A = this chain, B = another copy of it.
Amino acid sequence: MAVRYFLGIDGGGTGCRARLRDEAGRMLGEGKGGPANARLDTARVRQSILDAAGAALRASGLDGEIWQRTHAGFGLAGAGQTGACERLLALPFPFADIAVDTDAYTSWLGASLGNPEQPGDPENDRGAILIVGTGICGFTVLGGERISIGGWGFPVSDDGSGAVTGREAVRQALRAHDGLAPASPLAEAVLADIGPTPEQVVDWADKTTPADYARFAPLVYAHAATGDPLARLIATQAAGFIDDVARRLLTLGAARIHLLGGLAGTVQPWLAADVQQALSPARGDALDGAIALAHASQTGSADNG
């Protein structure tokens, strides 16, 4: 029986990552590529994935001959959109087979299972993930049912996310400029960064992405730590929204919350005591979750390599 390999992909709007493991779970290499949100142009997403996979392959010292014995799992933001995965998988890939799911699902798999060479039942310990980065999303699987809370995107959802937190800072800075809210060091810092005139903020806001707003979220928490009342207000509101998502996951039956994402460490001290007590470190990351996805899709057909 030929050796098999497992490739995990974690793709989002700003970039994607790849990890290559052998059948025994040994890490062989990792790599990075460009944006791979499944809603983007499929040719671009494919190229980003192949770039990241190629980098992981080079890091492993192996050659492309292994791809035909490699089972790939893709966890991609945007994969929930109707038809997005079908369009992507209609393009040619060199792998033996591919399993695709959302990045929320692979993040949850990774957080629940850890290194996936011996995948068990990921529902066993009823973990839920709460990702707080540019966006925010609560996710778990309970009784075989997937549950997503929040995370429907900016600007109609994502309260508590970096993007909404940063946008609140910009909004309050404009209110302070207009005399509708008190001046504060945070408001001044935001206007100095973007403006200083409101007209410059208008021009800036014309071209912003959620990530542009999210850039100000760490500034909010930094000013909140020094006691700036406006920053404390925004941070407290954001933490309240995050608490809401966490408590909803717990109410629905989750036993623990794995707090993930670029702002996880920043927001954690602001969360309520009952939410803090439910937090638990993730066992693995989204790349290991993607590898677990590839393993799971092989169950019952492990000798076809």
Contacts and interface: CB of A to CB of B under 8 A. Distances in A.
Nearest to A138: B178
A157 interface: yes
A248 B198 contact: no
A80 interface: yes
B155 A167 contact: yes
Interface residues of A, number: 33
A202 B82 CA distance: 11
Contacts of A149: 178-180
B174 A152 contact: yes
Given A81-B203, A205-B156, A150 B167 contact: no
Nearest to A205: B156
7 contacts: A39-B206, A148-B198, A149-B179, A156-B167, A156-B205, A157-B175, A180-B244
Given A153-B206, A156-B171, A178-B248, 15 more contacts: A39-B206, A81-B199, A82-B199, A149-B178, A149-B179, A152-B202, A155-B155, A155-B167, A156-B167, A156-B174, A178-B245, A179-B251, A179-B252, A180-B244, A180-B245
